[in-house]
Structure 1
Amino acid sequence: MKDEFSLIRSITPKKVYHKELIQGIGDDSAIYTPIQNEHQIVCMDTMVEGVHFTEQTMSPYQIGWKALAVNLSDIAAMGGIPDYYLVSIAFSSVWYDQINEIYQGLADLAGRFNIDLIGGDTVSSDKLTITVTAIGHTFKRKYFLRSQAWPGDVILVTGTLGDSAAGLRILLGQIRGKDDEMERTLIKSHQLPFPLIEAGQLMAQMPYHSSLNDISDGLASEAGEIAEASGVKLIIDYPSLPKSDQLIQLDPKLQKEYSLFGGEDYQLLITAPESAVLEYQQAFKKAGIRLTRIGYVEEGSPSVYLIDGQDKAILSKKGYNHFTD
C-alpha cells in the first residue's frame, strides 16, 4: 500500500480555474480572495458506505461524482455560483486502489463548473466515508432561502420526480424495469445526478422573490421545510407532478411513493409570484430545463396538502431521515 503523501500528490489538481486562489493543496490551509461585494456560500455533505451507497449500487467514480453533486445542488438552491471544494475521505486498505477513481469523479463534475479542489484530509477507517465542503458566492448579492415563500405564490419544480428512487430499487433488486434501456435511464438518475446550478442562476438574474429547496430527501419533506420556514401552507396537485417516460411504466402506487417520498432527485422546488412564472418558464425552456407548475401557496399554519382528484389531505413530511430510516 502506498503512503498518504503519495496519494495526495496523485490527486492534486494540475489546473487552477480561479485567479483568486492564492494557495491550494500543499500547505496547512488554502488561501483565496473572496469575490468583492458578494456573499459567500458554504455547505457540506457526507456520504457513508452502507448508508448512502454500497459497491452494489455505485462505482468509485460515481461515488466521487455524487459526493460533489449533492453539495453543488445545495449551492444551486441558494442561487449561488460554486468556486471551490474540499474533500475529507476515510477508507480502509481495500479501497486504496480505487481512491483515484473517486477523485476522478469529483474532478470531472468540478470541471463542468470550473471549481477548484483546494484541500481536505485523508484518514484510515473501516468504512468508506467521504465529506465534501463546497464554497461559492452570490450573484449581485442575491440569494434564495426556504423562508421566502409568500401567500399567493405559485409552486414550481424542475425536471422529473421519482427517477432516482426507482433506480435505487432496481439496483437493489426490489423492482424490475420493462426493458434494459428503462432500467439504465432510471439507474443513471440515481448514480450520476446533475446539479442545477444554471437554474438557480437564471432565477438570481431576475427581479423576483422566490424560495428554493433542492429535493434531496423527497418532495414531501422539502415542501414541509419551506412551509415551516415561511410560515405558510403549500397546496400540491399530485396529477401535475412531472414524471419521466420511464417512471410512468411502473405501478401507479410506486410512482406516487417515489415521486413524493423517494428523494435524491436533486431537482429544485421553487415558489415564486404569479408575475414571475412566464419569465421563469421562458428562460428555463431556452436553457433546456423542464419547469412544471405543481401548486400554490396559501396563508395558514405551516403545512403541506396534497390534492389528488377529489381527495385533499395533509402530506406528511416523510422522506429520508438519517435518524429514523
Structure 2
Amino acid sequence: MAQAPGKLPGASELPGEFDLIARYFAPLSAGMPGALGLTDDACTYAPPPGYDLVLTVDAMVAGIHFLPDDPAASVARKLLRVNLSDLAAKGAMPVGYLMTTAFTAETDADWVAGFAAGLAADQREYGIGLMGGDTIATPGPLSLTLTALGIVPTGRALRRNGARPGDVVLVSGTIGDGALGLKVLRHEFLDLPPAERRFLEDRYHLPQPRLRLGQALLASNLVHAMMDVSDGLVGDLGHIAEASGVGAILEAAAVPLSAAAAGLLADAPDLLPLILTGGDDYELLLTAAPDAVNDLLALGAEIGTPLSVVGCIPGHAAGERPVRVIDRDGVELNLATGGYRHF
C-alpha cells in the first residue's frame, strides 16, 4: 500500500499542535460564530425553525482514497466535496463541517498550508465554514475525516428506501470518469489526448457535488428515492433496491458517458464493468414515477446538470442479485462485482 506524501528537501517543519490550528485552521472558522475561532472544545449551531439537521461523515486515507503525490489542495477539496455530495443526495443545503486530521512525521508545513488553501477555496465556493475538529499525530498513513452538516425542511430529506415498483431510474451527469481518471493518474491510457487525460484526472480529483440539483429535486416533490453514486452505479442502485425491498434493472447502453469515457470504451469494450462499478462518480441516482420523467429531464436541463433514464424498478422483490444489468438486446451481463467495498 502506498504511504503518505514524503517531505520535500528543505520543507518547513510543522509547528506545535495549537500553533498549527491557529495558523492554518482557525481562519477557516471565521464565518462560523459558534466555532469561537476554534478556541473551545465544541461548536454551537441552531438550525433555523422548520429545518432538520443532516449530518454525514467520510474518511480518506493516503494510498487508499488518494495517491501519495496528489496535491494537498485537491485532497482537501475532494475530502470536503464527497461529503457535500451526500448532502446533495438528501436535498440539503450545506452549513459547515467538522474535521479530524491525523498527520504523519512526513507531513510538512507546506503540505498543510496547501491543504488549508484547498479548503478555503471550496468554503468560498459553497458558502460554508469550519466548525471544529481535532488535529493529531499518527505513525501513518496520513488519515483525514470530515463531517458535513446541512439543513433540510423538517421531515423532507430524501432517502434511498423509497423506490416503488414501476419507477424509472435516472442518474445525473456522466458515469465512469472518476474510475477512469484514477487509471490515467496511474499512467494508463497513454495514447489518450492531453485534454481528455486532464478531464478524467479532474473528475477523479475534484468531484462536483450536485447540491443545486439535489435541492431542486427535493422541491419538485417528484423523487421517490435518491442517493449519490460513490461506490459504483451498479452497487449503489443495489443499495436503493435493497433498502426499498425491490429489484432493479440497469440498461448498460443507456448509461451516460463523457466523450473521453465513450472513446475509451469504444476502443476497449472490456472497460464496461469498471465504468459501471468503479465508483468515484458523485452523481445523483434517483427513482421516480414514469409520468414524472419529462419534468425531471427539463429540471436537469434548467439546472445545467442533465439527467438520463438508465433503468427501471420492475416490481419483483430484491433477491440474491438486486440489480440486473442488461445490454441493448436485453441480454443480462454477468459482472464480477457490483461496486467498491472497503472489506
Q: Match for 2:95: what amino acid? A: D
User: How has the CA–CA distance of structure 1 residues 313 and 79 changed in structure 2, closer, same or farther, with 3 Å as cutoff?
Assistant: same
State the match for 1:322 in structure 2. Answer: 342
* Count of residues in Structure 1 that have an aligned counterpart in Structure 2: 321
State the match for 1:135 in structure 2. Answer: 149
User: How has the CA–CA distance of structure 1 residues 15 and 88 changed in structure 2, closer, same or farther, with 3 Å as cutoff?
Assistant: closer
State the match for 1:153 in structure 2. Answer: 167
User: How has the CA–CA distance of structure 1 residues 271 and 145 changed in structure 2, closer, same or farther, with 3 Å as cutoff?
Assistant: same
User: Could you tell me how far apart the structure 1 residues matched to 2:255 and 2:28 are?
Assistant: 44
Tell me the TM-score normalized by structure 2: 0.89
User: How has the CA–CA distance of structure 1 residues 31 and 24 changed in structure 2, closer, same or farther, with 3 Å as cutoff?
Assistant: farther
Identity %: 34
User: How has the CA–CA distance of structure 1 residues 17 and 5 changed in structure 2, closer, same or farther, with 3 Å as cutoff?
Assistant: closer
Measure how far apart 1:152 and its partner are: 1.1
State the match for 2:10 in structure 1. Answer: none
Measure how far apart 1:177 and its partner are: 4.3
The counterpart of 2:136, out of the listed 117, 123, 126, is 123
Do residues 51 (structure 1) and 64 (structure 2) align? yes
User: Could you tell me how far apart the structure 2 residues matched to 1:263 and 1:145 are?
Assistant: 20
User: Could you tell me how far apart the structure 1 residues matched to 2:228 and 2:191 are?
Assistant: 27
Gapped regions of structure 2 (runs ≥ 5): 1-12
The counterpart of 1:277, out of the listed 288, 293, 296, is 293
User: Could you tell me how far apart the structure 1 residues matched to 2:202 and 2:191 are?
Assistant: 13
Do residues 305 (structure 1) and 324 (structure 2) align? yes
State the match for 1:99 in structure 2. Answer: 112
The counterpart of 1:222, out of the listed 231, 236, 240, is 236
C-alpha contact (below 8 Å) 1:17/1:114 kept by paired residues = no
State the match for 2:260 in structure 1. Answer: 246
Measure how far apart 1:24 and its partner are: 5.2
Measure how far apart 1:259 and its partner are: 2.0
Tell me the TM-score normalized by structure 1: 0.93
State the match for 1:68 in structure 2. Answer: 80
User: Could you tell me how far apart the structure 1 residues matched to 2:167 and 2:335 are?
Assistant: 19
C-alpha contact (below 8 Å) 2:35/2:132 kept by paired residues = no
Measure how far apart 1:314 and its partner are: 6.3
State the match for 2:48 in structure 1. Answer: 35
Superposition RMSD in Å: 1.8
Gapped regions of structure 1 (runs ≥ 5): none
| Local SS of the residue matching 2:338 | coil
Q: Match for 1:226: what amino acid? A: I
User: How has the CA–CA distance of structure 1 residues 16 and 297 changed in structure 2, closer, same or farther, with 3 Å as cutoff?
Assistant: same
User: How has the CA–CA distance of structure 1 residues 115 and 243 changed in structure 2, closer, same or farther, with 3 Å as cutoff?
Assistant: same
C-alpha contact (below 8 Å) 2:273/2:335 kept by paired residues = no
User: Could you tell me how far apart the structure 1 residues matched to 2:270 and 2:39 are?
Assistant: 49
CA offsets 1:137-168 (integer angstroms, 9 cap, x no match):
11354111110100111100000011111110
Do residues 179 (structure 1) and 179 (structure 2) align? no
Measure how far apart 1:293 and its partner are: 0.7
| Local SS of the residue matching 1:132 | strand
User: How has the CA–CA distance of structure 1 residues 119 and 13 changed in structure 2, closer, same or farther, with 3 Å as cutoff?
Assistant: same
Measure how far apart 1:55 and its partner are: 2.2
| Local SS of the residue matching 1:246 | helix
Measure how far apart 1:23 and its partner are: 3.8
